[in-house]
Structure formats: structure tokens, C-alpha cells
């Protein structure tokens, strides 16, 4: 049903000069961007990466009364057409399609770039968007590696743009209530938190080098990543399990739960991080762990862990995904939905808050659109009215960094000593090599 639309209540002007990463954005000039939000009646969004999650996000943005999705960007021509049709069903106009999102950013009327492309694109695309004067809604993880995350934090300050990371549970009402209860002492002093994610993913097999499909711009799909031959088991989802482009289950799903743990325990950077696990279930091209336990120690008598099982979906605490906080007087369990339970030390339920809306945490595209809309509206209110972001890039980077440190510990095969002041790895040359990455020439990130 088409959403008849919509008046906007506030205009915002912005007109700072723009500094570009060398040569990356074609057709760009600072003089073209005198108005970023300007006299727009509503916010206008461009969505990048719409094969799966981005398709759902585009529709969710289009549903909002004060937003039009004006551009759909994807290197898969089929995805552009499919998403454009879906968006046109919920707003008055059909968006324009672009293979190259940088062309979209040349439009002075675009206010927001929504980034839902593969992980290796997240930080570079967000930086390019900020340099083009756009605000950014950035799906988790915010970066492929820690150096990129730090650069985004600095870029948001330098370019004075709103950057919201897609840790949507920060905006879910009952989850917010659970964290409030925790901080107000409902289980006494919490000293340990555990998060988890389980699934039953199949083998991705052994890929074969084949011709690039005519619907795919493989060169642009790779973008910042050094070039590799196209194989038939990478696009569209299995890139998650290759270190070259993806970040494994830990950042694919663990970022959400680690963020809740960090929020509830009120911690930032750890002093020690360790990881155990591996690719155990199948013998195939999958590189990242399918079984992993990451542990974090902090300097305030607090620790937490995250357990991921990609190929054995046995639930923990009755849910495929969730977190639990353990305190001196009881425990709180937040499942994958917008609900929670509080237990005393004898395992009796002392408080239970339920959610009436169905949520499927294993739905990679659209697990909870009705709740995610609250996160989107918070982002809009920040742009227009300076309402504090629920998951700004500083906090988003800290949560992403924790899981990245876990992956680095996994890859080097030993625990990491970490500076609790800034999250940097202490005295470990092998681990520090994984703090950043190599880029395809001409695609380097530069402030």
C-alpha cells in the first residue's frame, strides 16, 4: 500500500567545503555542494548494496514519513531493479538506479547514504559519503579492520556528519529497559556477560574460477580490496567467510551481542582478549571460524565472552542469539527479540518482559523491521534536531573493535595484551600487522 506523503518540519543548512580521498569520487567539486540538506522538504536517501539486507533497509527508510529513497545503488543490475520496484510500492516515486554509488553522491539533494554492501566496503564507502557531505547509516560492522574504524571516528568529527551504526537493538524499547534495570542494580553488581549466536549453515564447497556473470560488476564489487579472480562461491553471501572481504560470524552477528554486553557492563577497551575455535564442520573454502569463543577481560573486575556456532544451531537459554548478564544477586537474559527475563540466584524468575512482535534473528535480510524503524528515526532526529544517536560511530567502533581483536587473536593463535586507554594491541608485531589492510591502488582511505 503506497504511503501518501508527508510534510517535513525542519530545514537544515550545511555548506562546508569538502576534502576528497584522492581521485575516488568522479565528477565531484566542492562548489557543487553548497546545499547538503538545504531547503529539502524531507530527507533523501541513497541505499548502497541492496541484494539482501539493503533491500529491507531501503524499504524501511522509504516507509518513514520524512524520507524518500531516491537512489538505489548496487553492482548487481538485478538487485537494483528488484529493490527499486519494492521501494516504489511504499513511496510516491520509483528511485533511480546506479551501479556506482559514487555517481549517486554527486547529487546535491542526497542527504544520506545507507551502506549495506559487503564488509570490505563499509568504512571506505562511509568515508567517501562524508567527504561528499552526506550523513551515513552504516550497517555493522562499521569497518573491516581497526584502523578503518578509527579513521571513521575522526572523519565524523572532521566533516561534522551524523553516522549511525546499525546496532538496532540500542533502540529496541524492552532491550533499553533491560539495560536500564541492569544499571540500576536489579541483579546487584554485574561482573560477567555472555553473548552467543547459533545457526546451521551449509558448506560453501570449493569454488571454481568462472566467467563473471553479465549482471555483476566484479571490478566495482571488489572496490578497495586487492584484486582476485571471480569464483562461483563468493557472491552474494559467502564473502562473509573469507578474510579478504569478510569478518566471519564474529562481526557478522557477534557485533550485535558484544555491543549489548559492552553497553550493559559499561566498559570500553579490554586489557586482554583471547579466542579459541576454527573451521571444524566442513572441508571447503570457508576461512573464518565456524566455531569460536572470544573472551575479554577488563580492568574493573569485569569480563565477558561471545560464543559463535555457525554449523550447529543448538539454542542457548532458549534462543539462537542473545546475551546474559551475571551479577552478585541474579542474572538478566535478553534473547534475540525485544524481551528479557530477570532471575534471582536460585534461578527463580523475578521479572519477565515479553514482546508481542515476531522476530527471526536468523533472517539475514529483515529480522525486525518494525523495531529497526525506531533506530532509523533516531538517526533522522539526530540529523534534524541533534537528538543523541543511540549508536554513534564512536560507540560503534568500540564494539566493532572488540570483536576485531578477537579475530586477530584467533588468527595469530594467542591472546592479546591490550591498552585499556585506546584499545591498541601492546607489543605484538604479528598481531599489529592485522590492525589494517592492503588496498587496491587508488582506493586507499585518506582523511
pLDDT in the model for residue 330: 98
Query: Cβ(187)–Cβ(327) under 8 Å?
Result: yes
Average pLDDT, the chain: 90
* pLDDT tens for each residue of 200-222: 999 999 999 999 999 999 999 99
Burial of 262 (0-12, 13-18, 19+ CB in 10 A): buried
Report the sign of the C-alpha dihedral through residues 378, 98, 12, 164, in that order. Answer: positive
* pLDDT tens for each residue of 213-251: 999 999 999 999 999 999 999 999 999 999 999 999 999
The count of residues in the chain is 447
pLDDT at residue 23 greater than cutoff 70: no
- Work out the angle at residue 51's Cα, subtended by the Cα atoms of residues 47 and 57, and round it to the nearest 5 degrees: 45
As a whole-number percent, the residues of the chain with pLDDT over 90 amount to 86
Instruction: Place 105 in a pLDDT band, splitting at 50, 70 and 90.
Output: very high
Instruction: Place 291 in a pLDDT band, splitting at 50, 70 and 90.
Output: very high
* pLDDT tens for each residue of 140-159: 999 999 999 999 999 999 99
* pLDDT tens for each residue of 397-432: 999 999 999 999 999 999 999 999 999 999 999 999
Show the domains of the chain with their CATH numbers.
30-169 (3.40.50.720), 172-205+219-363+393-435 (3.30.360.10)
Grid cell listed for 398: 568500540
pLDDT in the model for residue 356: 72
pLDDT at residue 80 greater than cutoff 60: yes
Q: By three-state DSSP, how is residue 283 classified?
A: coil
pLDDT at residue 72 greater than cutoff 50: yes
Amino acid at each position: 500500500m503506497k504511503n501518501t506523503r508527508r510534510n517535513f518540519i525542519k530545514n537544515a543548512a550545511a555548506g562546508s567545503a569538502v576534502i576528497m580521498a584522492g581521485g575516488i569520487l568522479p565528477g565531484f567539486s566542492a562548489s557543487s555542494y553548497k546545499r547538503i540538506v538545504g531547503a529539502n522538504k524531507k530527507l533523501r536517501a541513497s541505499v548502497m548494496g541492496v541484494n539482501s539486507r539493503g533491500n529491507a533497509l531501503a524499504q524501511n527508510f522509504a516507509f518513514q514519513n520524512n524520507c524518500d529513497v531516491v537512489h538505489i545503488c548496487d553492482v548487481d543490475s538485478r538487485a537494483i531493479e528488484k529493490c527499486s520496484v519494492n521501494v516504489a510500492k511504499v513511496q510516491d516515486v520509483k528511485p533511480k538506479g546506479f551501479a556506482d554509488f559514487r555517481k549517486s553522491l554527486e547529487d546535491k539533494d542526497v542527504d544520506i547514504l545507507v551502506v549495506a554492501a559487503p564488509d570490505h566496503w563499509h568504512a571506505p564507502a562511509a568515508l567517501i559519503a562524508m567527504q561528499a557531505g552526506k550523513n551515513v547509516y552504516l550497517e555493522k560492522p562499521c569497518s573491516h579492520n581497526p584502523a578503518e574504524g578509527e579513521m571513521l571516528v575522526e572523519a565524523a568529527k572532521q566533516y561534522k556528519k551524523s553516522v549511525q551504526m546499525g546496532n538496532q537493538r540500542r533502540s529496541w524499547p524492552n532491550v533499553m529497559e533491560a539495560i536500564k534495570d541492569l544499571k540500576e542494580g536489579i541483579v546487584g553488581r554485574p561482573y560477567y556477560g555472555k553473548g552467543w549466536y547459533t545457526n546451521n549453515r551449509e558448506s560453501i564447497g570449493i569454488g571454481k574460477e568462472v566467467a563473471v556473470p553479465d549482471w555483476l560488476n566484479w571490478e566495482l564489487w571488489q572496490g578497495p580490496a586487492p584484486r582476485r579472480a571471480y569464483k562461483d562461491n563468493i557472491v552474494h553471501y559467502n564473502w562473509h567467510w573469507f578474510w579478504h572481504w569478510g569478518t566471519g560470524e564474529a562481526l557478522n552477528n557477534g557485533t550485535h551481542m558484544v555491543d549489548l554486553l559492552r553497553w550493559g557492563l559499561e566498559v570500553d577497551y579490554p586489557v586482554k582478549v583471547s579466542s579459541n575455535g576454527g573451521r571444524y564442520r566442513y572441508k571447503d573454502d570457508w576461512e573464518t571460524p565456524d566455531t569460536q569463543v572470544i573472551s575479554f577481560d577488563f580492568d574493573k573486575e569485569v569480563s565477558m565472552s561471545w560464543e559463535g556456532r555457525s554449523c550447529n544451531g543448538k539454542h542457548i537459554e532458549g534462543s539462537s542469539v542473545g546475551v546474559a548478564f551475571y551479577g552478585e544477586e541474579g542474572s538478566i537474559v535478553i534473547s534475540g527479540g525485544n524481551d528479557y527475563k530477570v532471575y534471582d540466584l536460585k534461578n527463580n524468575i523475578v521479572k519477565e518482559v515479553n514482546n508481542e512482535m515476531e522476530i527471526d534473528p536468523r533472517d539475514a535480510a529483515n529480522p525486525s523491521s518494525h523495531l529497526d524503524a525506531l533506530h532509523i528515526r533516531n538517526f533522522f532526529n539526530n540529523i534534524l534536531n541533534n537528538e543523541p544517536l543511540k549508536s554513534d560511530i564512536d560507540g560503534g567502533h568500540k564494539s566493532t573493535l572488540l570483536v576485531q581483536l578477537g579475530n586477530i587473536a584467533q588468527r595469530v593463535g594467542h591472546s592479546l595484551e591490550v591498552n585499556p586507554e585506546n584499545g591498541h594491541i601492546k607489543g605484538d608485531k604479528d598481531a599489529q600487522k592485522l590492525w589494517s589492510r592492503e588496498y587496491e591502488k587508488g582506493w586507499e582511505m585518506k582523511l
